Structure 1
Amino acid sequence: MAEDDSRASVVPVLVLRKITQILRSFSVDQPELTLQQIIRTTGLPASTCQRLVRNLVVEGFLDREDDHYRIGLDFVQWAAPGTFGLDLVRLTRPALQALRDRTGETACLYVRHGPFRTVVSLAESRHPVIRLFVVGMVMPLHAGSAGKVLLAWDPTARQEAVRHGLGRFTDHTVVDIDELTDQLAAIRRAGFSASFEERDAGAASISAPVFGLNGELVAALGIGAPLQRVSPADVERLAPIVMELARDASRRIGFRADAPFAVRSATEL
């Protein structure tokens, strides 16, 4: 009887191991994969991999668009620490849409997981030419305004990013830790971050922090656009709007400016 119980407990563990292999095949460099790519990366039998991937889509662990798969929104929300899951997305949605409407550009909400940031919600620009963002998109922290916001208000994020390595994506990517530290201090003083061509050529973004109930950093809210529509000359006009809507998002999830964590962070960071 004991042997039967032991054998029965092994089967679910083996299935979980295969699921873990599938999920780990996605990375910041390859956020979207075809089924054949997943099969090659995991080394799983094609029929087994196809069945598990199909089930992961049904359960929300993976999202599918045409022949490509990516990490699902449900999984991102469960995995990201410091968030309120679906409540975070639902409660901040009005601020996200208002940011899109007032700036005309795609607005995104990002949360951090380890040394990466992930888009958990977006309101897409109505311009015919846009920067492409999708829910579940994974990006580095040190390249781009939203990632730098998460770094600027979260010392743990800085430690994880440095430990993972500051990879170069363009000629404008900051890979020197001292230069990055100076930038983060300036971002905290300004209350927002603006970046140009740090992760992709021809891309621009402006982001600001979203704080939770106790004043802890929860997310970054920002806009992303082609450089021809958002240049350094537009920051003075757009940054106040981004900060205003990030404050609105914070209020919607219960942030209080006198929260102990908020006061401590302002003086210690």
Structure 2
Amino acid sequence: MLGRDGNDAGLAGGAGGHTPLLLLGKITEILNVFTLREPALTLREIQRATGIPSSTVQRLATNLVAHGFLDRAGDRFRIGVKMAYWAAAAAREVDVLAVVNPVLKDLRDVTGETACFFRAEGEHRVCIAVAETRHGLRREMSVGRIAPVSVGAPGRVLLPQLTAGTITDRDELRKLIKQTAADHYAITVGERVDSASGVAAPAFDSAADLVGAVVVQGPTLRMPYEKCVEWVDLVVEHAERITRALGGRMPD
């Protein structure tokens, strides 16, 4: 609770000198330190990661435990289980398409090519959102379009969600999964359709699970391999926008 003067009278144990925004900023810094790779930390580790004074870290961590933001076991802290309860309510209200569609339109406007969002359904991938190019020469794409998950740039991104049976060459499948997971993007030229190219990147939810793949696709005439490489950072950036808007995080 904040006192009438704006100090952290309740949450920070009655210590003065913090404005509400400054206090919230410090709390955010502390919570951001916890990751899937390092889910449990000591006060000293939190202090080193944030640079916040030790006394402030101790006071805030103690109060965050009291309010359910953190849990404590011995000398180690972790994100509180109650946070999952709050996050579930938030995620339930998130309209994925409301998040995805504006991002696809921005990506289409920047590249001039069709931008789509695919998700995995069994052994296929399904287009659930699309912003079509304004060029007359285009690859036909529409919401509901189904394609094999084993081919094409978005398929490469979605492959880790499926079994090895979706590609006949299992060694090649493992290679593709490993490479795409390491790069966080995929490029294909003429793999599914002759003279067609695509650049895809993954979007994730709050558990770092794959939600779907963002892809820019078009004729190889306008999207040669070199152009695809040039657009990698752009596609990854837009996929990360979706991840952030969904309250997601990249896998550690």
TM over 0.5: same fold?
yes
Contact 1:92 1:253 in 2 (8 A): no
Listed one character per residue, the Cα deviations across residues 71-99 of structure 1 (whole Å, up to 9, x for unaligned) are xxxxxxxxxxxx97981111122211111
Describe the shift of the 1:256–1:189 C-alpha distance in structure 2 as closer, same or farther (beyond 3 A). closer
Question: Corresponding residue for 1:184?
Answer: 177
Query: Equivalent of 1:137, from 141, 145, 159?
Result: 145
Aligned length: 162
Describe the shift of the 1:180–1:84 C-alpha distance in structure 2 as closer, same or farther (beyond 3 A). farther
If each structure's helix is expressed as a fraction of its own residues, which one has the higher value?
Answer: 1
1:226 matches 2:209: no
Which runs of 5 or more structure 2 residues have no equivalent in the other structure? Answer: 1-90
Question: Corresponding residue for 2:208?
Answer: 215
Q: Deviation at 1:242?
A: 0.3
Question: Corresponding residue for 1:48?
Answer: none
Higher-Rg structure is 2
Query: Equivalent of 2:100, from 81, 92, 98?
Result: 92
* TM-score of the superposed pair, with normalisation by structure 2: 0.61
Contact 1:146 1:221 in 2 (8 A): yes
Which runs of 5 or more structure 1 residues have no equivalent in the other structure? Answer: 1-82, 167-174, 264-269
Distance 2:98 2:239 in 1: 14
Return structure 1 stretches of 4+ with deviation > 6 angstroms: 83-86
Describe the shift of the 1:131–1:86 C-alpha distance in structure 2 as closer, same or farther (beyond 3 A). farther
Listed one character per residue, the Cα deviations across residues 25-44 of structure 1 (whole Å, up to 9, x for unaligned) are xxxxxxxxxxxxxxxxxxxx
Three-state SS of the structure 1 residue aligned to 2:95 is helix
Give the alignment of 1:1-269 within 5 angstroms.
87-152=95-160, 154=161, 157=162, 159=163, 162-163=164-165, 165-166=166-167, 175-257=168-250, 262-263=251-252
Distance 1:149 1:108 in 2: 13
* TM-score of the superposed pair, with normalisation by structure 1: 0.57
Listed one character per residue, the Cα deviations across residues 2-38 of structure 1 (whole Å, up to 9, x for unaligned) are xxxxxxxxxxxxxxxxxxxxxxxxxxxxxxxxxxxxx
Q: Deviation at 1:216?
A: 0.9
Identity of aligned residues (%): 30
* Relative contact order higher in (CA < 8 Å, ≥ 6 apart): 1
Opposite residue 149 of structure 2, the aligned amino acid is L
